[in-house]
Structure 1
């Protein structure tokens, strides 16, 4: 078992978690979940590109952008969980010789701020799109 740094894992989840960077670091290249992270993230980014190019009325962009928000939110949750894992449990699981220290805690704090903002924005965007769709449906009725 290779030694894994809790602080590094926290910051990898914070900065590249939506692409599975923390899972590749912790579990290696053979981790199926790590390989599944980039695809929904890239779909969400494609939704952002479509929104920028085609405008707010693009229905595909409306569906894909919340996927990006959810992927970023789950990455921030992973950073929080990793950063706040007790040092004894981390040492038992990943044979770490050093505790995570303040770097892991600061990463968890940053993840909480970013994740909260992104999740609230995702819920607000999705709610707005739903109510606009509902209004369009009612306007189309005779």
Structure 2
């Protein structure tokens, strides 16, 4: 089980290979990667600045991951989240879950993604032609949490 908050990009293939290296108890490996979109609310986006409080952010992400481990049978999990200035097409984050069976791996990954989207302590500011704008939480993100 691991959580990393970092400025630099990551290699999804290498991360997944490391997660399962030397393991024969994993029957399912699920991953998701979030990317910076080139448009939002009908406007082009030149980039997105992600801010966080070091220490507090890692602790919050570890707490979310611990909830997933408690709820589902996982052999391993990984959360990688970036901060700093990111451009369209760049990776923002990834989640990976490994379990004996796909049901637990998929459910835990969806749980982590839903909670990261709405509860992870990151502040996002989009650069648009009209200037910068902070990204607000969406009602659909909160709706997604209710199923858990």
TM-score, length-normalised on structure 1?
0.32
Select the structure that is richer in strand: 2
TM-score, length-normalised on structure 2?
0.31
